[in-house]
């Protein structure tokens, strides 16, 4: 089945640093990738949708200058949390879908647990 | 009121029991998804359905479009089924966007 690899799986860093999270589709072309954030005991919240070669579409309330998304190839999207602060600590998870109709399953990565000290 | 609601929030069962998790939604959808989130956080897509019923192994998912309701059933439950089960819907006007329920935490004891 379709595999999405997310790296790193967890990261701890100091306040003020920038953190990059990678999301790769290993065996299919991910024309669209999605970035979600999940706080403890809460449901996933979509942050942004990115199409390969285009600017990401951010959900209301998500700062695009804070959460930089790049989807430069059909197999890789990155999320960079710039100048991270403790309130950015969360579980970030990506998903991807292949070409064709948009109404098809999304394939999820294993997530990245981010802790900002 | 959340657009996607699940019940129960928490569920414990003995190994071998038949389990049902319910999902109700209040928006127009193009499809409904059942996802499984493991304790480490990784998510697996179990089903995507827009009508009727689907079966995969011990898992069965049904949907009633008129009643805006779906159920996920697990037959002969096993401790390895312990996870959070999440219902999500694809909106009819934006099929890429998923709206998630808050999940049902299932623990199956041996």
- Chain segment A23-43, per-residue pLDDT in tens: 999 988 888 999 999 998 888
| Predicted confidence (pLDDT) at residue B1 exceeds the cutoff of 70 | no
Choose from B42, B43, B93 for mutation: most chain A CBs within 10 A: B43
Comparing CA positions, the residue from A107, A84, A117, A38 lying closest to residue B41 is: A38
Q: Which of A42, A97, A102 sits opposite B102 (nearest CB)?
A: A42
What is the pLDDT confidence band of residue A1, given thresholds at 50, 70 and 90? low
Tell me what the pLDDT averaged over chain A comes to.
91
Answer for the pair B109, B52: CB distance below 8 angstroms, yes or no.
no
Pairwise CA distance, residues B37 & B39, whole Å = 7
How many CA within 13 A on the CB side of residue B83? 19
Percentage, residues of chain A above pLDDT 90: 71
**Torsions phi, psi of B40, nearest 5?**
-75, -15
Q: Is A80 on the interface with B (CB under 8 A)?
A: no
Tell me what the pLDDT averaged over chain B comes to.
93
| Predicted confidence (pLDDT) at residue A104 exceeds the cutoff of 80 | no
Q: For the beta carbon of residue A103, count every other beta carbon within 10 angstroms.
A: 15
What is the pLDDT confidence band of residue A72, given thresholds at 50, 70 and 90? confident
Q: Which of A42, A103, A108 sits opposite B42 (nearest CB)?
A: A108
Q: What is the CA radius of gyration of chain A?
A: 13
| Predicted confidence (pLDDT) at residue B95 exceeds the cutoff of 80 | no
Tens of pLDDT, residue by residue over B73-84, are 999 999 999 999
Q: Is A115 on the interface with B (CB under 8 A)?
A: no
Distance of CA A19 to the CA centre of its chain: 12
| Predicted confidence (pLDDT) at residue A103 exceeds the cutoff of 70 | no
Comparing CA positions, the residue from A113, A27, A57, A50 lying closest to residue B42 is: A113
């Amino acid at each position: 089945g379709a595999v999405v690899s997310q790296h790193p799986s967890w990261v701890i860093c100091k306040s003020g640093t920038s953190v990059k999270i990678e999301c790769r589709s290993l065996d299919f072309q991910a024309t669209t990738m999605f970035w979600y954030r999940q706080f403890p005991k809460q449901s996933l919240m979509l942050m942004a949708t990115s199409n390969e070669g285009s600017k990401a579409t951010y959900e209301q309330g998500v700062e695009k200058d804070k959460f930089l998304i790049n989807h430069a190839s059909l197999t890789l999207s990155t999320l960079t949390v710039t100048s991270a602060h403790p309130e950015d600590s969360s579980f970030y998870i990506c998903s991807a879908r292949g070409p064709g109709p948009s109404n098809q399953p999304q394939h999820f990565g294993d997530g990245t647990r981010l802790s900002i000290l | 009121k959340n657009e996607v609601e699940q019940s129960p929030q928490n569920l414990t069962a003995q190994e071998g029991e038949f389990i049902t998790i319910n999902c109700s939604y209040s928006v127009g959808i193009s499809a409904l998804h059942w996802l499984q989130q493991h304790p480490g956080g990784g998510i697996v897509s179990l089903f995507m359905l827009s009508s009727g019923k689907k079966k995969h192994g011990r898992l069965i998912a049904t949907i009633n479009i008129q009643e805006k309701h779906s159920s996920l059933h697990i037959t002969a439950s096993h401790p390895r089924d312990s996870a959070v089960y999440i219902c999500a819907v694809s909106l009819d006007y934006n099929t890429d966007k998923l709206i998630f329920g808050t999940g049902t935490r299932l623990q199956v004891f041996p």
